[in-house]
Amino acid sequence: MSTVEIDGRVFTQIVGSDLDRDGMYIELAEGGVVVAEIFYSDVTHMMSLTTFTADVPLEEIEHLIAEAKVRLQSDAARL
């Protein structure tokens, strides 16, 4: 878990796996509420971004995407 503060707002990233969807994710939360998620599918080898609120700073979305590229892809998908 990592935490970052932007303009007085505190965001937390949590990495996990989802057996039902067959993949891994990074959730972005603010105040315990998930505001965005990037999911990597082991089936399609693709990532998708979902936001649950319109008020997420672009700087944090860019950081979330960079983290997902490093932490979510399997070794096979990086080849």
Q: What are the CA-CA distances from residue 72 to residues 6, 17, 53, 55 (Å)?
A: 24, 9, 23, 24
pLDDT for 9 equals 92
Q: Which tens digit of pLDDT belongs to each residue from 41-68?
A: 999 999 999 999 989 999 999 999 999 9
Q: Does residue 30 contact residue 11 with C-beta atoms inside 8 Å?
A: yes
pLDDT for 56 equals 93
